[in-house]
Every structure is written in C-alpha cells, then in structure tokens.
Amino acid sequence: MRITQGAFSYLPDLTDDEIKAQLQYCIDNDWSVAIEFTDDPHPRNVYWEMWGLPMFDLPDASGVMLEVDACRDAYPAHYVRVSAFDARLTRQTTALSFLVQRPPEEPGFQLERQEGPDRTIRYTLRGYASDRPVGQRYGRGDS
C-alpha cells in the first residue's frame, strides 16, 4: 500500500529533475521551502521532523536539492517531503506539499473496526510500522 500524502500522490514517484522543476516553481512564486521527514506517516501525523530551517529568498532550486539529497542520505528508510509556504496575506499557508522519498518497503496500515452500543461502528487506522520502536520501523538502513 502506497502512502498518498500531498500533491502528486497518485502519480509515479518524481525524478530528481521533476522535483527540481517543482522546487523552482515554488521559488518563482516566492514561497519558502521546508524539508521534513518521518518514519510514522499516519494521516493524522502532520508534524514531521524538520530538516534544518525553512529556506527563504533562494535564487534557484539547486540549493534546496542539496538539502533534499542530504536528508535522503541521512534517513534512507524514511519518508521525506517538501512543503512550500505562501506568506502572502501575512500568514504562512501551505501552498504545495509532496513526497520526495519513500522507504524501500512500505508496510501499510491496518483498519481496526470497533463495534459499540446502539449499533455504532468506529474505525481506526494503525500503521504496521508503529509496532516497532522509533528508528527500527523500516528495517535496514534506518537511522
């Protein structure tokens, strides 16, 4: 099961050239860019670890790609995403967010059904990877 978070989720993984083109689009629109990573991609986990600080006033996408590659090298078995923030209207709004790396193996999620009183049914998603401790969720190469 592939994680579908952010833009381009239903497309094949982007190549580095395609990622760089999207980053340049963000820079051309004066959006600040941030790189984040996690080993817990649960849909409600919106606060991923930040790689460095958000990048402002960049002339081209090469600088961001250097940081994307550094994050990938440091966390080869994690999810890595790029988020671009639009500061117009005096607030930071996420304008674009997309994955730039997936772990080699994605264990997926289990849907747990709970039946309650008065025929109520509740569903919960639980990531298979969360059975293992942080740092060991995706096996080899995990940091």
Tens-place pLDDT, residues 44-64: 778 899 999 989 888 899 999
Does a structural domain hold residue 97? yes
- At residue 12 the predicted structure's pLDDT band, cuts being 50, 70 and 90, is confident
Does a structural domain hold residue 118? no
Tens-place pLDDT, residues 73-100: 999 989 999 999 998 878 778 899 999 9
> What are the residues facing 51 on neighbouring strands?
35
CA 11/CA 9 separation, integer angstroms: 6
Q: Could you tell me if 52 and 67 are in contact, meaning their C-beta atoms sit under 8 angstroms apart?
A: yes
Does a structural domain hold residue 119? no
Does a structural domain hold residue 84? yes
Closest C-alpha among 57, 61, 60 to residue 100: 61
Range of 39's domain? 16-101
Does a structural domain hold residue 137? no
pTM of the predicted model, to two decimals? 0.76
CATH code of residue 67: 3.30.190.10
CA 4/CA 13 separation, integer angstroms: 11
The helix (run of H) or strand (run of E) holding residue 91 is none
Does a structural domain hold residue 93? yes
| 103 pLDDT higher than 90 | no
CA 21/CA 72 separation, integer angstroms: 18
